[in-house]
Amino acid sequence: MSNTEIVQLLLVIVGLFFVAFEVFTNMNDVEDDTTNVILYQATLKRMLFIPFAIGAIAGHLFLGTTSKLFPSYNIITAIDNELLVIMGLAVISGLLVLFSKRIKTRSREFLTVLLLAGLLYGHFFWSMND
Amino acid sequence: MIEFEAMLNINKTIANSTEKQRKWAKIFVATLAVILAVADAFFAIKDSKGFPTFSSLFKSHENHMLWFTFLFGCLTGKIFYNRFTHQKKKEQKGIILIGIVVVILITIGLLLKQVHVEPVIKLLLFVTGILCASRYWPQYKNPAGQKRNFTAFENAD
């Protein structure tokens, strides 16, 4: 079994677990225990980074600018540029959690703005095409 | 009076077990996310030994991942633009519709010769997934357990 196949197998296993979990939570009598409701309720509480992170992952996987925004050398010598971008994502997520109590609104429009901001972050800074 | 207290106790027990099950569901979701993040970090470190990261795997199989692009959109739509229904049939129809689209996209992906898919097509699939999930895949809610009225946006009936 090649290394690529091992990674694919891991994804398939995790995917199957997720599907089994979704089927189980949909069939049982307990309300509001499906993944989408759990993630939405977490977003409404303090986890404001969830829409941003989902947007960033989508921008990273599905979009990605072809123009090179980062120089070919590492901006911080010891840290790879991609790692720097991921650290940036972590910092923004941390800030969103930190200020979540001060940010009163949880409207769909606001969450959409966060999703779009994440999408742009993934497209411009976390591109696989540059 | 005794009967009333007994009923109250039964209700409390049900509420407690429901809360426990929700807690376990949260732990399960968090565990899956952590496993994926740790595995991806591990593959990134072991990149030189030929372990591709999830991103590079996606990049090298773009045509085979069209279904995932759409499904990721559906899941995003289910999280942030979810609607509710009191009819189980509506939810089941939605699942069937999404399932059919996913099967079609898997077939198209397998038939495509070239690997590269234009980003605009992937973005369209992602947005279509969000719209499809929000419009055609409402979530069933038992009317008996409903705690608040649905907003105009949330009501799919």
What ipTM did this prediction achieve? Answer: 0.89
**A31 vs B contacts (CB less than 8 Å):** 18, 141-142, 145
The closest of A116, A12, A13, A90 to B68, measured between CA atoms, is A12
Domain tally, chain B: 2
User: Which helix or strand (DSSP H or E) is residue B140 part of?
Assistant: strand B139-140
Alpha helices in chain B (DSSP H): 2-45, 54-60, 66-80, 88-111, 119-136
Same domain for B68 and B138? yes
Q: Would you say residue B90 lies in a domain?
A: yes
Same domain for B85 and B44? no
Q: Would you say residue B137 lies in a domain?
A: yes
Q: Would you say residue B42 lies in a domain?
A: yes
Q: What is the mean pLDDT of chain B?
A: 86
**A61 vs B contacts (CB less than 8 Å):** 55, 58, 69, 72, 122
Q: State the Rg of chain A over Cα.
A: 18
Among B20, B21, B22, B63, pick the best mutation site for testing chain A contact (most A Cβ within 10 A). Answer: B22
Q: What is the mean pLDDT of each run of 10 residues along chain B (157 residues)?
A: 62 67 88 89 78 87 90 94 91 92 93 87 94 92 80 85
The torsion angle over the Cα atoms of residues B123, B125, B130 and B131, rounded to 10 degrees, is 110
CB A85 within 8 A of CB A124: no
A58 to B43: CB separation less than 8 angstroms, yes or no: no
Reported confidence tier of residue A15, pLDDT bands at 50, 70, 90: confident
- pLDDT of residue A115 exceeding 90, the answer is yes
- What's residue A19's pLDDT? 86
The torsion angle over the Cα atoms of residues A4, A9, A15 and A21, rounded to 10 degrees, is -150
Q: What are the structure tokens assigned to A60, written together? A: 């990273």
Among B29, B95, B121, pick the best mutation site for testing chain A contact (most A Cβ within 10 A). Answer: B29
The answer, for A5 touching chain B at a CB cutoff of 8 Å, is: no
Q: What are the structure tokens assigned to A35, written together? A: 């993944």
Residue A71's φ and ψ, nearest 5 degrees, are -70, 160
Residues B101-119: tens digit of each pLDDT: 999 999 999 998 888 889 9
Residue B139's φ and ψ, nearest 5 degrees, are -95, 135
The closest of B46, B31, B105 to A7, measured between CA atoms, is B46
Q: What are the structure tokens assigned to B29, written together? A: 């979701």
Q: Would you say residue B115 lies in a domain?
A: yes
Residues A31-67: tens digit of each pLDDT: 788 889 999 999 999 899 999 999 999 999 999 888 8
Same domain for B87 and B18? no
Query: Which residues on adjacent β-strands are paired with residue A79?
Result: A76
* Nearest CA distance, A36 vs chain B (angstrom): 4
Q: What are the structure tokens assigned to A56, written together? A: 């960033």
CA distances from A68 to A65, A123, B59 (A): 8, 12, 18
Q: Would you say residue B56 lies in a domain?
A: no
Same domain for B106 and B38? no
* Nearest CA distance, A125 vs chain B (angstrom): 14
For residue B101, the enclosing domain spans 61-157
Same domain for B8 and B70? no
**B56 vs A contacts (CB less than 8 Å):** 128
User: Which helix or strand (DSSP H or E) is residue B85 part of?
Assistant: strand B84-85
A38 to B29: CB separation less than 8 angstroms, yes or no: yes
Q: Would you say residue B85 lies in a domain?
A: yes
CB B30 within 8 A of CB B86: no
Give dist(CA A92, CA A90) in Å, integer: 6
B35 to A14: CB separation less than 8 angstroms, yes or no: yes
Among A61, A79, A114, A130, pick the best mutation site for testing chain B contact (most B Cβ within 10 A). Answer: A61
pTM attached to this predicted model? 0.87
B76 to A54: CB separation less than 8 angstroms, yes or no: yes
Q: Would you say residue B76 lies in a domain?
A: yes
- pLDDT of residue A23 exceeding 80, the answer is yes
Residues A69-100: tens digit of each pLDDT: 777 777 877 778 888 888 999 999 999 999 99
- What's residue B12's pLDDT? 62
Q: Is B84 in a helix, a strand, or coil?
A: strand
